[in-house]
Copies of this chain bind each other. A is one copy, B any other.
Amino acid sequence: MSSITSEPEKKILDAAKAVFEEFGYNGARMQKIADVAGISKASLHYYFRNKDNLFDRIFDETMSEFMLIVSTWTNVEEEWDVKLRNFIIEFYTFLKTNSLLFILREINRNPELLKRRKPKPKAGFLSYFENLKSAGVIRNINVPLIYVFMHSLCSYPLLNRSLFKRTTGLSDAEFETFMDEYPNHVADFLIEAIKKTNRK
């Protein structure tokens, strides 16, 4: 219903997303959004009554996109370790182009943003590995812990990129390589922690 984003409406949403993600709610300016969208501020208000209105739309969209990636688990018939590696690489790639900081920043600013969203069903990741664990296919791990580990390992280096660049002692080139290879290292690491030891 009425999500038929018309031509100028779409331009506005793109502009608003870019501006809100870069500057945050408090730093974003309606004039700036209008400029980026290539229209007047009055036109902007014609399509979206006010700033909160527009912001909520952007935040909800970004958040939905994020939750979709997070909670979807592949149905492909493969070994769990292959699925896990692919998921990690996809998730990492997704995070690279999407402003996770935007989400964290705004939730922190206004926790209400979360409360009004309907709670999501349990992430596919969790039940999938709970099942493998019950079936004795993998080690007797703490599944939520692995879930938190995976998220942390994928997310934080992208959030903290500029600081890690300074503190790891790597050169610019080395650091770029490091960040490119990173998701595979995360996969290696988690798979190693999950799989049954081959010691008898």
Contact = CB atoms under 8 A, between A and B. Distances in A.
Interface of A: 23-24, 26-27, 70-71, 101, 104-105, 107-109, 111, 114, 119-120, 122-123, 126, 142, 144-145, 147-149, 151-153, 155-157, 159-160, 162-164, 166-170, 178, 182, 185, 189, 192-193, 199
B144 A151 contact: no
Nearest to A169: B122
Contacts of A148: 156-157, 164, 168, 182
Count of this chain's copies in the oligomeric assembly = 2
B114 A166 contact: yes
A87 to B, nearest CB: 15
Contacts of A199: 199
